[in-house]
């Protein structure tokens, strides 16, 4: 892009957006309707009186220029009421006309106002910057950018098309941000705009960006898992979460570490198709589940990607509607797009032999994605992992500050019985979703898939003559990837690199994403162990009062 001449940036204070223009009626000392009633009544009363006196003088041939005191008073009142009515309605008309004019320059829509009390302070103090940290600065923009902002505001240039029209993603975000602040009258001060690669999210992560949100990232560990140590990044705004997970990691480490087993690795997608009769839908179901047809369907499905490999097909019939659940391996990608392309290939192939098949949707919720569903809890989706550890008795006492018997009783009554009483679906745990969400945000996963990825059952049992604690978490649907989506963003990529799972594993495709899934399960194990111990020892409230409360004086902030 050619360099454009920008206006010099002066240290002019950034102030709050202009409030609505005051109207003449706002200066009245009493409610508007009362004032209007008084003057309208006065106008018509004195007008009637003067007209009546004028008629009488004509009848009696009295001089019209000779006025009595009452007639003089009536003329004064008439003049006053006319002045008021003309002034009130005239000024309002002019102001409404002025406020309806289109914006003609950047200088007009970037005019800011100072509160009266602040303005009075400036008369008695040395000049200083009036910008408060919470108000937003007027960005120095070129005349060309000013014109584009006006086009966005007027609607002649769609906001979503700025990147393609300008060829500069950061500039597009800046223009969109300015236009948004002007049209909404709200400041986006505090949301950073600079120091972000907007090119990296184009067409992949987020549309119409106006900045980015900062979330602090903490680390828990080392987590000793399968004889290897991992420092786990967690992005969260909840106090105590990282510290609690870190304590669980310490207990696992002191007891010799945890072990994990990957039970299954397969992403699913389930389209819904419809036929004219249930019999016809059943014929397709039998065709798809016939082992003799699986190889042919696999060849068609696997054309979609180098890494997609069809594993199985399961069908559910509802009247004349058929739900087809495809499951396939997806390498190091989470794989939603990959499996969807494979499913589309198969549907196109089936259309030849089943021309009466009506494809209602590529997803029929039998998958099931981003929803709590029994099919994921039973069949699994993504990576199915079980992780276990034996925590020594002395570690339970010294690190976790409780005892094995208390943990066993609490786990049975809370995670198992309590969840059953609540009718939980995959929620037989203390707070698996806390750890899953924090790691997902830090590593660029889809946070919405926390729903099914947090399906977890936590089991505890006394071992070694009842002295030590065996604890495990079973998670059937951890949906993670190390390529694609948000994993390629700079911050998220750095977190993946910290875990040693960044990008695709060329030697053993899929091993990085599988390792990430086991780390998630190991971290959940640590989090479950620590929270359950805090509950058993009665430490939860005290710890949150200490670490999860704001230290700011809210009353002062509000004032």
Query: Does 238 participate in catalysis according to the annotation?
Result: yes
Q: How many CB atoms are closer than 10 A to CB 252?
A: 28
From 265, 446, 468, 528, active-site residue: 446
List for the chain the helix, strand, coil content (%; round to 5).
50, 15, 35
Distance CA(372)–CA(381), nearest Å, equals 12
Q: How far is CA 167 from CA 161, 203, 212, 555, in A?
A: 10, 13, 20, 47
From 147, 238, 283, 393, active-site residue: 238
Question: Quick check: helix, strand or coil at residue 291?
Answer: helix
Q: How far is CA 522 from CA 221, 225, 388, in A?
A: 11, 7, 8
From 16, 23, 320, 370, active-site residue: 370
Query: Does 552 participate in catalysis according to the annotation?
Result: no
Q: In degrees rounded to 5, what are phi and psi of residue 147?
A: -65, -40
Query: Does 189 participate in catalysis according to the annotation?
Result: no
- Point out which residues pair with 359 in neighbouring strands: 273
From 170, 320, 414, 544, active-site residue: 544
277-283 contacts at long range (C-beta below 8 A, 24 or more positions apart):
277/320, 278/317, 278/319, 278/320, 280/320, 280/354, 280/356, 281/317, 281/319, 281/320, 281/321, 281/322, 282/317, 283/354
309-318 and 272-274 beta bridge pairing: unpaired
- Closest alpha carbon to 527 in 218, 291, 292: 218
Q: Are 54 and 62 in contact (CB under 8 A)?
A: no
Read off the DSSP letter of residue 509. Answer: T
Query: Does 348 participate in catalysis according to the annotation?
Result: no
Distance CA(209)–CA(203), nearest Å, equals 11
- Tokens encoding 363: 């997803």
Distance CA(387)–CA(518), nearest Å, equals 7
Active site residues: 238, 370, 446, 544
């Amino acid at each position: 892009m050619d360099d454009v001449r920008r206006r010099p940036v002066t240290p002019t204070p950034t102030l709050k957006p202009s409030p609505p223009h005051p109207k003449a009626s706002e200066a009245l000392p009493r409610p508007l309707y009362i004032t209007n009633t008084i003057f309208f009544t006065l106008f018509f009363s004195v007008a009637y009186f003067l007209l009546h006196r004028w008629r009488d003088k004509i009848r009696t041939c009295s001089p019209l220029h000779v006025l009595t005191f009452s007639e003089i008073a009536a003329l004064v009142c008439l003049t006053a009421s006319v002045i008021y009515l003309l002034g009130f309605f005239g000024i309002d008309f002019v102001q409404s006309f002025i406020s309806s004019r289109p914006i003609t320059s950047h200088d007009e829509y970037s005019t800011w106002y100072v509160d009266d009390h602040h303005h009075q302070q400036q008369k008695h103090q040395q000049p200083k910057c009036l910008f408060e940290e919470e108000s937003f600065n007027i960005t120095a923009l070129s005349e060309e950018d000013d014109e584009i902002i006006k086009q966005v505001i007027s609607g002649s240039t769609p906001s979503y098309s700025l990147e393609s029209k300008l060829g500069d993603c950061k500039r597009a975000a800046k223009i969109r941000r300015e236009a948004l602040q002007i049209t909404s009258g709200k400041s986006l001060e505090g949301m950073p705009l600079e120091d972000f690669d907007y090119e990296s999210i184009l067409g992949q992560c987020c549309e119409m960006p106006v900045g980015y949100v900062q979330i602090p990232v903490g680390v828990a560990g080392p987590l000793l898992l399968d004889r290897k140590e991992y420092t786990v990044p967690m992005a969260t705004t909840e106090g105590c979460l990282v510290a609690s997970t870190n304590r669980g990691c310490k207990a696992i480490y002191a007891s010799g570490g945890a072990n994990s087993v990957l039970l299954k690795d397969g992403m699913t997608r389930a389209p819904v198709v419809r036929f004219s009769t249930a019999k016809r839908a059943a014929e397709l179901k039998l065709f798809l589940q016939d082992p003799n047809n699986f190889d042919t369907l696999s060849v068609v499905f696997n054309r979609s990607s180098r890494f997609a490999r069809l594993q199985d097909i399961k069908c559910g019939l509802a009247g004349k509607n058929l739900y087809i659940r495809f499951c396939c391996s997806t390498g190091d990608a989470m794989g939603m797009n990959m499996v969807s392309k494979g499913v589309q290939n198969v549907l196109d192939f089936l259309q030849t032999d089943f021309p009466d098949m009506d494809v209602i949707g590529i997803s029929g919720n039998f998958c099931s994605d981003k929803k709590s569903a029994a099919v994921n809890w039973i069949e699994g989706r993504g990576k199915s992992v079980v992780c276990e550890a034996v925590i020594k008795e002395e570690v339970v006492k010294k690190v976790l500050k409780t005892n094995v018997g208390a943990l066993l009783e609490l786990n049975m009554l809370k995670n198992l019985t309590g969840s059953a009483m609540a009718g939980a679906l995959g929620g037989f745990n203390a707070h698996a979703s806390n750890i899953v969400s924090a790691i997902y945000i830090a590593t660029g996963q889809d946070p919405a898939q926390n729903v099914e990825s947090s399906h977890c059952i936590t089991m505890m049992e006394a071992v070694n003559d009842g002295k030590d604690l065996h604890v495990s978490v079973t998670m059937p649907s951890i949906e993670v990837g190390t390529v694609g989506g948000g994993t390629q963003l700079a911050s998220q990529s750095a977190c993946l690199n910290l875990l040693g799972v960044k990008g695709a594993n060329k030697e053993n495709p899929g091993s990085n994403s599988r390792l990430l899934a086991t780390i998630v399960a190991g971290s959940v194990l640590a989090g479950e162990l620590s929270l359950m111990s805090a509950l058993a020892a009665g430490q939860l409230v005290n710890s949150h009062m200490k670490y999860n409360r704001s230290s700011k004086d809210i009353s002062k902030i509000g004032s």
